[in-house]
């Protein structure tokens, strides 16, 4: 039985979709924090992302999804297995627009509000600041300017900061959602096997999301030109059509290339072009 931690909140839906695409379906009534996993090798629990690194380090859970920012904030000694690339954010320092940041940091007792206490202390100490840290519990951007001179917060686009009259003055780190494991689970043969199988499926799903499957028909005269322009994982699959001199071509191509490829394929004489999503890519 592999103990799996899932992040509560906005990250959960993307993690749930990824697991479902891997074949691990979650079943839970509303407000239940222990969903049933369709694969009996897993037992899952939903926790706040902030708590997950420490719980994995303790070994009460084997693997879990959380942000790189919270691993760095807590200093948890865990094994990073996979960067999913979900929910990219920056942890930034921000000040009211027009403020002289160097002057603020040189002010004795400069007030700094943040949820990221450890990261913020390291940043301020490196700046040689004399500061008073205010621990926020969300909505950090509203502290400035009345209750804080600076804030440290996460942002994806910076829009919320700008709407509150703040500008980014420094970036502490960049974070994404990642999969982490307890060191002991990686040393346990049976658990390691399940973890490796889960990673195989996740890589397969993530790689599949980057590609689409193109199928088309082409006559013999145009075949070599079509093959020459098609990107492929190894090479396209080509088969003769039944009772015809034409060919069917099948190939997995990078999703961003489709808008360029399809008109060019049509120009070269390809017909009956089909574009399909791929569920998994397993090399």
pLDDT at position 283, please?
81
The answer to whether 115 and 140 are in contact (CB under 8 A) is yes
The verdict on 269 and 156 lying in the same domain is: no
> Which of 185, 208, 231 finishes a domain?
208
Whether residue 266 lies inside any domain: the answer is yes
Please indicate, yes or no, whether residues 15 and 77 belong to a single structural domain of this protein: yes
| CATH code of the domain in which 54 resides | 3.40.190.10
Residue 28 is predicted with a pLDDT of: 86
Based on the domain organization, do 226 and 110 belong to the same domain?
no
DSSP state, 241? P
pTM of the shown model: 0.89
CATH number reported for the structural domain that contains residue 259 in this entry: 3.30.70.120
The set of long-range contacts for 182-186, using a CB threshold of 8 Å and a minimum separation of 24, is 182/56, 182/57, 182/58, 182/59, 182/61, 182/62, 182/63, 182/78, 182/79, 183/77, 183/78, 183/79, 184/59, 185/2, 185/59, 185/62, 185/63, 186/79
Report yes or no on 260 lying in a domain: yes
DSSP code per residue over 146-198: TT-SEEEEEESSSHHHHHTTEEEEEEEEEEEEEEEE-HHHHHSHHHHHHHHHH
Q: Are residues 273 and 254 part of one domain?
A: yes
Residue 117 in domain: yes
Q: Are residues 188 and 124 in the same domain?
A: no
Same domain, 7 and 53: yes
Could you tell me if 234 and 160 lie in one domain? no
155 and 26 in a single domain? The answer is no
Could you tell me if residue 224 is inside a domain?
yes
Burial code (b: 16+ CB inside 10 Å, e: under 16) for 95-118 equals: bbeebebeebbeeeebbbbbbbee
Picking from 189, 208, 227, the residue at the C-terminal end of a domain is: 208
Assigned domain for 283 exists: no
In this structure, the answer to whether residues 200 and 250 fall within a common structural domain is no
pLDDT on residue 107: 92
**100 and 146 assigned to the same domain:** yes
My answer on whether 139 and 263 are in the same domain is no
The per-residue pLDDT for 55 is 97
pLDDT at 15 (0 to 100): 96
- Report how many domains make up the chain: 3
Q: Is residue 282 part of a domain?
A: no
Q: What is the pLDDT, as a whole number, of residue 30? A: 78
- The last residue of one of the domains, among 116, 150, 174, is 174
Omega of the bond leading into 21 within 30 degrees of 0 (cis): no
Q: Which domain holds residue 194?
A: 2-86+176-208
pLDDT in tens for each of the 283 residues of the chain?
A: 899 999 998 899 999 999 999 999 999 887 889 999 999 999 999 999 999 999 999 999 999 999 999 999 999 999 999 999 999 999 999 999 988 899 999 999 999 999 999 999 999 999 999 999 999 998 999 999 999 999 999 999 999 999 999 999 999 999 999 999 999 999 999 999 999 999 999 999 999 999 999 999 999 999 999 999 998 888 899 999 999 999 999 999 999 999 999 999 999 999 999 999 999 999 8
Any domain includes 135: yes
pLDDT at 29: 81
State the Cα–Cα distance between residues 237 and 232, nearest whole angstrom: 9
Residues 6+ apart with CB under 8 A from 10: 87
| Domain identity same for 267 and 138 | no
């Amino acid at each position: 039985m592999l103990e799996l931690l899932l992040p509560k909140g906005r990250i959960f839906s993307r993690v749930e979709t990824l697991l479902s695409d891997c074949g691990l379906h979650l079943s839970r009534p509303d407000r239940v924090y222990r969903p049933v996993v369709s694969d009996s090798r897993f037992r899952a629990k939903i926790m706040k992302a902030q708590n997950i690194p420490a719980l994995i380090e303790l070994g009460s859970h084997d693997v879990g999804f959380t942000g790189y920012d919270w691993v760095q904030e807590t200093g948890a000694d865990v094994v990073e297995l996979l960067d999913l690339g979900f929910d990219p954010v920056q942890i930034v320092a921000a000040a009211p627009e027009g403020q002289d940041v160097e002057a603020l940091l040189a002010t004795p007792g400069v007030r700094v509000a943040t949820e990221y206490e450890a990261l913020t202390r390291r940043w301020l100490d490196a700046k040689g600041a004399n500061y008073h840290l205010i621990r926020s519990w969300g909505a950090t951007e509203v502290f400035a300017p009345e209750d804080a001179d600076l804030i440290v917060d996460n942002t994806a686009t910076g829009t919320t900061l700008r709407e509150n009259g703040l500008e980014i003055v420094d970036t502490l780190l960049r974070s994404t959602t990642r999969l982490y494991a307890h060191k002991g689970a990686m040393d346990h043969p049976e658990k390691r096997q399940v973890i490796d199988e889960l990673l195989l499926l996740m890589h397969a799903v993530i790689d599949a999301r980057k590609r689409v499957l193109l199928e088309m028909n082409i006559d013999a005269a145009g075949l070599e030109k079509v093959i020459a322009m098609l990107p492929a994982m190894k090479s396209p699959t080509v088969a003769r059509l039944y009772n015809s001199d034409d060919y069917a071509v099948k190939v997995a191509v990078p999703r961003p290339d489709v808008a360029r490829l399809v008109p060019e394929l049509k120009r070269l004489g390809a017909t009956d072009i089909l574009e399909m999503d791929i569920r998994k890519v397993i090399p």
